[in-house]
Amino acid sequence: MTLVLSQLFTGISIGAVLLLIALGLSLTFGQMNVINMAHGELIAAGAYTVYVLQKVLSGAGLSLLIALPVAFVVAGLLGVLIEVLLIRRLYARPLDTLLVTWGVSLILQQVFRDVFGAPNVQTRAPSALTGSIHVTDDLVISSSRVFILVLALVAVAALTAGLRTTPLGRRIRAVVQNRDLAAVSGLATGRVDRLTFFIGSGLAGIAGVALTLVGPIGPTMGTNLIVNAFLVVVVGGIGQLKGTVIVAFTLGIVQSMVEYTTTVSVASVIVFVVIVAFLQWRPQGLFTLRTRSLA
Amino acid sequence: MTGLTVRDLKVVFDGFVAVGGVDLDVPAGDVRFIIGPNGAGKTTLVDAITGLARATGTVTFDGQELLGRKVHRIARLGVGRTFQNSTVFEELTVLQNLDIAAGWHRGPLTLLRRRTSIPPRVQAALETIRLTAVRDQLAGTLPHGQKQWLEIGMLLVQDAKLFLLDEPVAGMSHEERDATGELLGELSRDHTVVVIEHDMDFLRRFARTVTVMHAGRILSEGTVAEVQADPRVQEVYLGHSVEA
């Protein structure tokens, strides 16, 4: 029982990281209808931000706290750069966008190798997050995983509140719902696009910061996660926060459970099979945006 | 020269000439109806004026050249349009729809604050379009006719001086048509209105001037009586839809 609970918690924390990545993807995908293949490298950019800050600042706790906003801005600006230089020029050409952003992803990976070296690098976790919490005598969960979970939940809450209640959020939703109508209503859709890319990419940077607490930092760390994040976005329903949250945690838990009883590769295979089956049943995802009736 | 002036406007999609050299003058304060068979290029003409379709030629409104400007810049010059099939932001409330249209001149900092009261302009528009009672309802749940009015309300709050309405009474009941006609009458007092419409009955009652398009060109122009008497119009237009 304790084992199950401990795996459950590991799953939830995997889900939390997936959620952070998928939220950003879902936001940029919903906005521009294109897939940014370089999203994974924005995660790595966030993680390397922690590494660099730790070189400059001595305290691990301080550098982690500063890294959160800095990584958000670094990854966000990188995302905006990709949007301005490439994605907006390939609007309505999704296949080309896919190829071009994949190229960007490869270039960024090489840049990371050249600057930081090909081997993985390590950061020190702040002492407050290295310990673990004894829930019961047997059940022990690591504090860094709790921190990641809280971070993800705060991000979801902030994003939801921002999209729902602020006029800025409503503009983003308006452009997602009908770009032409938004433009003829006088909205500068290009600026809304850039802002959305900034927020979505910034969330990837935050995910990168979170990942430094649970694993090594390497040039290809984002690629390994991005496939699962895509699955979360597709299965959850594009542009649907609720679906993204549910699927991210479900996927994390299923993966961690199956991984424990079998192996990592078997777990991946099982997850993929389940998702393919699910999409046969509901190709539009768990939740869908209500679309204009054709009648 | 005030009003809308179009000179030698051409729109070509992949070799297909949708609009082939249109000249059009709509003086300020006019209520102009544009009619023509399906595929005549009426909607494409409006798309070109509002920047949604790439075009050559010149289009000026109140002395300002529109072609080559971004869509939202054209909107901010006072050119407003609606779409066919009542297009609104379905997942936002009526009030939020109006807020978006009214809010393009808001500064970036005020965008992060929640609005506490309804601006007078938005309130006035709600009353004009008769939607005050449903202002907190999702726009997607409104009946068809009310959606069309919401579109017109959005143009009102965004300070449009020129209203380009694409089939504003399509699919409406008789009562809704009459109400929309009244609304057009109110609008035309201080706006220039261009209406694309198939409904001939509606046209006879509310048009001041009529332009007939056919195959991407202007076929005839004048008052309702003049256009109806034009033999070219009878041949081309009425030949296509006798029942109209």
Task: List, as ranges, residues 159-178 from A with C-beta within 8 Å of B.
Answer: 165-168, 170-171, 173-174, 177-178
With 50 as the cut, is the pLDDT of residue A5 above it? yes
Q: Give which of B14, B93, B100, B141 to mutate to test A binding, by max A Cβ within 10 Å.
A: B100
Give A 189-208 residues with CB within 8 A of chain B: 189-190
**Does the beta-carbon distance from B100 to A185 stay under 8 Å?**
yes
Asked if residue A266 is part of any domain, the answer here is no
For residue A289, what is the nearest residue in chain B, using CA coordinates?
B91
| B141's tokens | 């749940």
Q: Hey, is the C-beta of A288 within 8 angstroms of any chain B C-beta?
A: no
Set of chain B residues whose Cβ sits within 8 Å of the Cβ of A178: 87, 89
- Write down the pLDDT at residue A291: 43
Task: Provide the domain limits for residue B199.
Answer: 4-87+160-240
In chain B, residues 115-134 whose CB comes closer than 8 Å to chain A: 115
CA distances from A125 to A7, A64, A138 (A): 22, 8, 24
Judge whether residue A173 has pLDDT over 70: yes
Mean pLDDT score across all residues of chain A: 85
Answer yes or no: is pLDDT of A121 > 50. yes
Other CB atoms within a 10 A radius of the CB of residue A277 amount to 9
- The verdict on a CB contact (< 8 Å) between B52 and A180 is yes
Beta bridge partners of B81: B164
Strand partners, B65: B60
**Does a structural domain hold residue A64?**
yes
pLDDT of amino acid B108: 58
User: How high is the pLDDT of residue A293?
Assistant: 33
Interface test with A, best of B89, B148, B165 (most A CBs within 10 A): B89
- Does the distance separating the beta carbons of B71 and A184 come in below 8 Å? yes
| Residue B98: inside a domain | no
State how far residue A196 is from chain B, nearest Cα, in angstroms. 14
Residue B141 lies in a domain: no
Strands B31-35 vs B209-214: parallel, antiparallel or unpaired: parallel
Task: Give B49 or A163, the one with higher predicted confidence.
Answer: B49
Q: What are phi and psi of A215, to 5 degrees?
A: -160, 175
Distance from CA of B140 to the nearest CA of A (A): 8
Please determine, for residue A70, whether its predicted confidence score (pLDDT) is greater than 90. Answer: yes
Average pLDDT over residues A18-41: 86
The pLDDT averaged over each successive group of 10 residues in chain B (244 residues) is 86 88 90 88 92 92 90 92 88 89 68 69 88 90 90 92 91 87 87 89 88 89 87 73 45
Domain membership of residue B20 (yes or no) is yes
Q: Give the DSSP letter of residue B5.
A: E
Per-residue model confidence (pLDDT) at position B114: 62
Share of chain A above pLDDT 70, in %: 95
Stretch A268-281: mean pLDDT, rounded?
81
Whether the CB of B109 is below 8 Å from some CB of chain A: the reply is no
**Is B216:B17 a contact under the CB 8 Å cutoff?**
yes
CB pair distance less than 8 Å for A167 and B115: yes
CB contacts, 8 Å: B157 with chain A: none
Beta bridge partners of A244: none
Check CB contact under 8 Å for A173 and B91. yes
Q: Is residue A116 part of a domain?
A: yes
Say whether A190 and B88 touch across the interface (CB within 8 A). Answer: no
What 3-state DSSP class applies to A232? helix
CB B198 within 8 A of CB B35: yes
Q: What is the mean pLDDT of residues A165-184?
A: 88
Predicted TM-score of the model (pTM): 0.83
- Here the tokens at position A185 are 């209503």
Decide if B33 is inside a domain.
yes
Give the Cα separation of B150 and B135 in Å (integer). Answer: 10
With 0-12 / 13-18 / 19 or more C-beta atoms within 10 angstroms meaning exposed / middle / buried, residue B63 is: exposed
Residue A113: inside a domain, yes or no?
A: yes
How confident is the model over A1-20, as a mean pLDDT? 85
Task: Give pLDDT, residue B240.
Answer: 52
Contact assignment for A186 to B114 by CB distance below 8 Å: no
Q: How much is the pLDDT for B244? A: 42
At A68 the pLDDT is 93
Mean pLDDT of A208-222: 90
Query: Which structural domain range is residue A152 located in?
Result: 2-221
Report pLDDT for B32: 93
Count of structural domains within chain B: 1
Radius of gyration of chain B, Cα coordinates, nearest whole angstrom: 18
Category of B55 on φ-ψ map: left (φ > 0), alpha (ψ -120 to 50) or beta:
beta
Tell me: the pLDDT tens digits for B48-84?
999 999 999 999 998 889 998 999 999 999 999 999 8
User: How many CB pairs below 8 Å do chains A and B form together?
Assistant: 90
Contacts 24+ apart (CB under 8 A), B137-142: B137/B93, B137/B94, B138/B90, B138/B91, B138/B92, B138/B93, B139/B88, B139/B89, B139/B90, B139/B91, B139/B92, B139/B93, B139/B94, B139/B96, B139/B97, B140/A290, B140/A292, B140/B88, B140/B90, B140/B91, B142/B88, B142/B94
Per the CB < 8 A criterion, the answer to whether A34 and A96 are in contact is no
Closest chain A CA to residue B164: A184
Residues whose CB falls within 8 Å of the CB of residue B27, separated by 6 or more in sequence, listed in order: B2, B3, B192
Read out DSSP for A109-173? HHHHHHHH-SS-B--PPPGGGTSEEESSSS-EEEHHHHHHHHHHHHHHHHHHHHHHHSHHHHHHH
User: Which of the residues B52, B69, B71, B106 would you substitute to probe the A interface, choosing the one with the greatest number of A C-beta atoms within 10 Å?
Assistant: B71
Two tokens at A223?
Answer: 């690629």
Tens digits of residue pLDDT in A253-262: 888 888 777 7
Better pLDDT: A101 or A271: A101
List phi, psi (to 5°) of B211.
-120, 130
What's residue B239's pLDDT?
Answer: 60
Query: How many angstroms separate the CA atoms of A87 and A201, rounded?
Result: 14
Residues paired with B56 in a beta bridge: B10
Confidence label for A74 from pLDDT (cuts 50, 70 and 90): very high
Could you tell me if residue A63 is inside a domain? Answer: yes
pLDDT at residue A56, as a whole number = 87
What pLDDT sits at residue B6?
92
Rounded to a whole number of angstroms, the distance from the CA of A92 to the nearest CA of chain B is: 14
| Model pLDDT for residues A90-111, shown as the tens digit of each residue | 877 878 888 999 999 999 999 9
| Residue A62, min C-alpha distance to chain B (Å) | 29
Q: What confidence score (pLDDT) does residue B81 get?
A: 93
Number of domains in chain A: 1
In a domain, B15, yes or no: yes
Residue with tokens 């009529």: B210
Q: What pLDDT does B205 receive?
A: 87
Domain presence at residue A130: yes
Radius of gyration (C-alpha) of chain A in whole angstroms: 19
What pLDDT, on a 0 to 100 scale, did the predictor assign at position A271? 79
Whether residue A65 lies inside any domain: the answer is yes
Is A280 in the B-facing interface, judged by CB distances under 8 Å?
no
Instruction: Please report the pLDDT score of residue B107 as a whole number.
Output: 61
Asked if residue B21 is part of any domain, the answer here is yes
Interval A38-69: pLDDT, tens: 999 999 999 999 999 988 887 777 888 899 99
